[in-house]
Amino acid sequence: MRDVVKALMLKRALTTAKDLLVSNQEYSEIPDVAAYADIEHQWLRGYREYLETAIKEGDCIPRHTEIVDYPKNDIAFRPLARFSARDRLIYDALIYSAAPSIDRQIRRPVYSYRWNHNTGRPIFWFKPWKKMQANARYFLKSDNWLRMATLDVSSFYEHIDVEILADDLTCLSQSAEKSKNLNKFLISFQRINHAWGLPQGSDASGILANLYLAPVDEFLAKNDLRYLRYSDDVMIFHRDWTELRDVLSEINRILRARRLSMSAHKTQILEPSDAFQRIHDVRKASLSAACDIGIPGAHIEVRRYFDEVTKGDPSDTRSLRFVINRLAKLQDDYAVSWCLDNLPFIAHIAKETFAYLAVFKNRVEEVQKKLVNFMRSGASESYPYLEQRILRYFLALDLSDERMKESAWLILEDRNREDFPREFASRYLGRSASVAEAQLLRHKFEEEPNVIMRRALLMSLYESQNLSQRYLRDVEEYIPQLKWVCKYLRTGPNIPVS
């Protein structure tokens, strides 16, 4: 009976991992070349069982990981771990299997990466974040003498010690056997990549990060301190400055014992008025409400705010994201030309920028021309995440451009480039390939050593109409890692663009 329950829980965890991976492509920094349509199609046709077998047999070491230096702002980066679909689903499912037990250890003032015990799924970030901000405002309004200490951990995910975390997981499950697969995955990830700590890029990692900071929560709760936490972003409320300073000092010792350190420039003690201003940006709140309600003249104020942001602090990423999203909501093209002229400086908000550009079908010709010029200038090579977004834009709008094809060939043929722009380049080429170009794509497929790229090239061959059923059968037989995409392509699908 216990084995049956365990098997059922694993099926549910894997299905949850798959559903979230597919549905969250819109929010992904590095979306999949086909929105994982092949995984979705093959899920109940053997793919889930394939993953179940791997987990049951302990085959949980990541086979393919690409570490992507993704921009945090115009000059700083964070290392995103881009796994194969197999590795990502195994990793997420292992965490989701442990998530209910982890979440029961996390105290109520923690709002990040919580688990919905009724639905068996993680809670999406937006509502918890807003609720935490509302509670912070409530604390400060309830006592005009309250000060607020804020702290942040330097490079938090990167400095999580996976061996300490493994001990935490073993303690939680009261059995090294129950947590061995997840521990094996994390230790292997760290040892075989130019990365350390928790993999970034998967929201599932946030659940483990919560467990890692549980000693901080415990200290604050046992000392009856009012606090709120979202991941490593902590707010602590108290009237006395010295008391808050002593609290921060003790937290620093707890963090150091866990191989972490507080960020010096983000750790502060704010006076009541400054604290409330930090939590509640009146102008943003009013602009957001005006856009939501549709108040006449809202676009004028949003435009004015956009001008101030773009002429002000270049590191104010939150404000830039906010105003671009508000302009998109208003369907106001005021910032289109600015975005196109400043692509290299706003690569860190590429997701928001291209969602904004996609709104304006009446300016496609202008956008197309400027994006092609950017790709042809050679400047794009330093911004692979922009190359991917540009090619994705052209694919989504089914835009054909000979100069873009030339750029796509250069990207595809450069094996020193990251995989993800090369994957989208191959699909773009397949969409409009001549017979000779399709034959060359087949040659690229056969000489490509990377199975992730081979998956994209196989889809490219399919869309070029140079992929026979005989050849698909041969690929499935001799390259077993590609059998799932082969089975999917055999059904004659319209492959989506994420």
Where are the domains positioned within the chain? 107-276, 282-360
The yes-or-no verdict on residue 163 having pLDDT over 70 is yes
* Sheet containing 233-238: order of strands: 226-230, 233-238, 147-151, 268-270
Q: pLDDT category, 316, cuts 50, 70, 90?
A: confident
SS3 227: strand
- Tell me how far apart the alpha carbons of residues 425 and 411 are, in angstroms, rounded to a whole number: 7
What average pLDDT does range 18-42 have in this prediction?
Answer: 95
Cβ-proximal residues to 299 (8 Å cutoff; 6+ apart), any chain: 327, 330, 332, 334
**Residue labelled with tokens 């196109």:** 340
- Tell me how far apart the alpha carbons of residues 267 and 248 are, in angstroms, rounded to a whole number: 9
Q: pLDDT category, 333, cuts 50, 70, 90?
A: very high
- Tell me how far apart the alpha carbons of residues 334 and 432 are, in angstroms, rounded to a whole number: 33
The yes-or-no verdict on residue 193 having pLDDT over 80 is no
What CATH homologous superfamily does 107-276 map to? Reverse transcriptase/Diguanylate cyclase domain (3.30.70.270)
DSSP state of 30: S
- Tell me how far apart the alpha carbons of residues 343 and 345 are, in angstroms, rounded to a whole number: 5
pTM of the model: 0.94
Q: What is the dihedral of CA 109, 112, 115, 118, to 10 degrees?
A: 70
DSSP state of 267: -
Closest CA to 42 of 63, 72, 71, 22: 22
- Tell me how far apart the alpha carbons of residues 48 and 147 are, in angstroms, rounded to a whole number: 51
DSSP state of 417: S
DSSP state of 99: H
What average pLDDT does range 136-150 have in this prediction?
Answer: 96
CB 112 within 8 A of CB 128: yes
Q: Which residues pair with 77 in a beta bridge?
A: 71
Q: What is the pLDDT of residues 436-450, one digit of tens each?
A: 999 999 999 999 999
Q: What is the pLDDT of residues 263-274, one digit of tens each?
A: 988 899 999 999
The yes-or-no verdict on residue 1 having pLDDT over 70 is no
SS3 19: helix
Q: pLDDT category, 282, cuts 50, 70, 90?
A: confident
Q: Which stretches of 258-359 are DSSP H helices? A: 272-279, 282-293, 298-311, 317-330, 336-341, 350-357
Q: Please report the sign of the dihedral spanned by the C-alpha atoms of residue 156, residue 159, residue 163, residue 167.
A: negative
What average pLDDT does range 221-239 have in this prediction?
Answer: 97
Residues above pLDDT 90, as percent of the chain: 88
What average pLDDT does range 476-490 have in this prediction?
Answer: 96
Q: What is the pLDDT of residues 368-393, one digit of tens each?
A: 999 999 999 988 999 999 999 999 99
Neighbours of 371 (CB within 10 A): 25
Q: Which residues pair with 226 in a beta bridge?
A: 237
- Tell me how far apart the alpha carbons of residues 287 and 376 are, in angstroms, rounded to a whole number: 38
